[in-house]
Amino acid sequence: MAGFTYRRLACDGRARTGVITTPRGEIRTPAFMPVGTAATVKAMHPEQVRATGADILLGNTYHLMLRPGAERIARLGGLHRFMGWDRPILTDSGGFQVMSLAGLRKLTEEGVTFKSHIDGARQMLSPERSMEIQRLLGSDIVMAFDECTPFPADEGVAAQSMRLSMRWAQRSRDAFGDRPGHALFGIQQGSVFPDQRAESAEALRAIGFDGYAVGGLAVGEGQAAMLGVLDYAPGMLPEDKPRYLMGVGKPDDILGAVERGIDMMDCVLPTRSGRTGQAFTRRGAVNLRNARHADDPRPLDDGCGCPACRGYSRAYLHHLTRAGEILGLMLLTAHNLQYYQDLMGGIRAAITDGALAPFAAATREGWATGDIERL
């Protein structure tokens, strides 16, 4: 598709590093996408998000269609202008969140009708409506509308769900049309069943997409089962297109996914954790509410360049967190997003150098110590 390209720069085992080029800028892969659910990455100015090294944000179709509304955002010039982020945005299809958040859902071949969790208004999502909403938002990477197969699902239920998603994938492709500079990604389903993953991948390749997501993971199956699927599922997807793992994850999940050939990920974890006093570091996760930080004059991580680590002590972050101060969650959100982007940068450099294995081992060793005294 004109204006949207993916170029692999290096491989190390199954891991890949590369660059996605869009009219709104480049996306270095493997990429972590901060989540901007309701047209804002919570507690962050967009320029602060960019300063962490983020090349692309994720927006949630379900949330935005309900409030403030896709047509309204279109009238106001699109999501980029609305939220002050001029780089690429990927939007999900709304399919996952409508099933997890909305009330009174009814799923048919046509799509899903539901009640808004905000005001109870009756709403509808279908492949065609999802494509329309994502077009109205001005999304750079549009996700096909699918049903995220719940976990666990028995083989018959999973197959039925996957095949519905494949029919919806075709309808998404048809409704998306030809939009130079904008990409449409298909989503592989098939739960934990290799035959179904293969059937789904084949169906998606036959339709043809600009990128491919491995769907139906990070929904409660646990890391071992997720990595089990990632041992084979990404390899079923085209090598020359980006591969996206939705809703992942913890730093260790991210590393495991990259090792298995994933190029893009998103997760609310760094932002949500930041709002509850949890910080991610090279020595594992740290709860700033813990009393042991109350008198600690050291920065959280003096090797980190984020505003929290450059300007403040652990004692101050502890104080802000305990006092429920907004600056506390602003600073910890910024730190966590910086940590995630620094991790991605380290991963990309390691793949380029053919040194992902030692990088991963050293990184996991650091996390395992849990010893932030050594930061």
Q: Catalytic residues, which ones?
A: 92, 266
335 annotated ligand binder = yes
Element (H, E) at 214: strand 211-214
Residues 216-275 that bind its own copies (CB under 8 A): none
Beta-bridge partner residues of 8: 18
Asked if 171 and 146 count as a contact pair (C-beta separation under 8 A), the reply is no
The answer to whether residue 289 forms part of the interface with its own copies (CB under 8 A) is no
3-state secondary structure of 46: helix
Confirm or deny that 96 is annotated as ligand binding.
yes
- Choose, by CB under 8 A, the member of 316, 342, 351, 363 that binds its own copies: 316
* Residues between 10 and 69 with contacts to its own copies, criterion CB under 8 A: 38-40, 42-46, 67-68
Task: Note whether 84 binds its own copies by CB under 8 A.
Answer: yes
Q: Rule CB under 8 A: say whether 320 interacts with its own copies.
A: yes
Say whether residue 357 binds its own copies (CB under 8 A). no
- Judged by CB under 8 A, the stretch of 14-22, 281-289, 309-317, 338-346 that binds its own copies is 309-317
- Residue 77 is a binding residue for its own copies (CB under 8 A): yes
| Smallest separation, CB 327 to its own copies (Å) | 4
What is the CA angle 234-261-58, rounded to 5? 85
Q: Which is nearer to its own copies, 45 or 167 (CB)?
A: 45
Phi and psi angles of residue 244, each rounded to the nearest 5 degrees, phi first:
-125, 130
Identify which of 282, 231, 218, 289 has the alpha carbon closest to the alpha carbon of residue 261: 231
Q: Is there a binding annotation on residue 92?
A: yes
Q: What number of other Cβ atoms are within 10 A of residue 277's Cβ?
A: 21
Q: Of residues 311, 354, 358, 370, which one binds its own copies by CB under 8 A?
A: 311
Distance between CA atoms of 218 and 244, rounded to whole angstroms?
13
H or E, element range at 367 = helix 356-369
Size of the site for its own copies (CB under 8 A): 37
89 vs 184, which CB is nearer to its own copies?
89
Q: What is the four-CA torsion angle of 243, 245, 249, 253, rounded to 10 degrees?
A: -70
Please list the residues that pair with 28 across neighbouring strands. 19
Smallest separation (angstroms) from its own copies to the CB of 309:
12
**Closest separation between CB of residue 311 and its own copies, Å?**
5
Scanning 108-116, 185-193, 215-223, 323-331 for contacts with its own copies by CB under 8 A, the matching segment is: 323-331
Among 329, 356, 360, 372, binds its own copies (CB under 8 A): 329
Look up residue 69 and give its amino acid.
G
Residue 231 known to bind ligand: no
- Known binding residue 274? Answer is no
Residue 78 interacts with its own copies (CB under 8 A): yes or no = no
Q: Which one of 81-89, 247-255, 349-357, 366-374 is the stretch in contact with its own copies (CB under 8 A)? A: 81-89
Distance between CA atoms of residues 171 and 95, nearest Å:
14
35 DSSP assignment: B
State yes or no: residue 326 binds its own copies (CB under 8 A).
Answer: yes
Cα separation, 43 vs 271, whole angstroms: 8
292 is a contact residue toward its own copies (CB under 8 A): no
- Of 105, 250, 272, 322, the one binding its own copies (CB under 8 A) is 322
Please state whether the peptide bond connecting residue 311 to the residue before it is cis, i.e. omega within 30 degrees of 0: no
Q: Which is nearer to its own copies, 64 or 201 (CB)?
A: 64
Q: Give yes or no for a contact between 211 and 243, defined as CB atoms under 8 angstroms apart.
A: yes
Q: Is 75 in the site for its own copies (CB under 8 A)?
A: yes
Contact 282, 301 (CB under 8 A): yes
Residue 272, sorted as left (phi over 0), alpha (psi -120 to 50) or beta, turns out to be alpha
- Token readout for 225 is 């089962």
Contacts of 335 (CB under 8 A, 6+ apart): 274, 279, 280, 300, 301, 304, 306, 307, 308, 309
Site string for its own copies, 97-136 (x = CB under 8 A): ----------------------------------------
Residues of each annotated binding site for Zn(2+): 304, 306, 309, 335
Which residues of this protein are in contact with its own copies, per CB under 8 A? 38-40, 42-46, 67-68, 72, 75-77, 82-84, 294-295, 297, 307, 311-313, 315-316, 318-320, 322-323, 325-330
